[in-house]
Amino acid sequence: MIPLRHYLLFDFSFFNKNLTLNILLLVLFVILILLTSYLALNEAAYLNSNSLRLKIFLEEKKKGAKK
């Protein structure tokens, strides 16, 4: 049977030797995922608030709301 390491494109043995680097990379990965989700939520909230504002403007019959 052929060992799994022959099928890998990258040698992962480096990560087994350096535990501190593993922890730092994991923390960085989690921070980046949280930052990405925060920015995506902000974008969704911004886009939804604009549509709500337009509906209110239409109900109040303000000028420029129909554009």
Q: What angle do CA 57, 59, 64 make, to 5 degrees?
A: 35
Give the mean pLDDT of the chain: 79
- What's residue 19's pLDDT? 81
At residue 50, the 3 state secondary structure works out as helix
Q: Which of 7, 5, 6, 25 is nearest to 15 (CA)?
A: 25
| pTM, full prediction | 0.55
Q: Cα separation of 4 and 1, whole Å?
A: 9
Mean pLDDT of 35-53: 86
Please report, for the chain, the start and end positions of each structural domain, with discontinuous segments joined by +: 15-59
Tokens of 22: 């593993």
Name every residue whose Cβ is closer than 8 Å to that of residue 64 and which is 6 or more positions away in sequence: 57
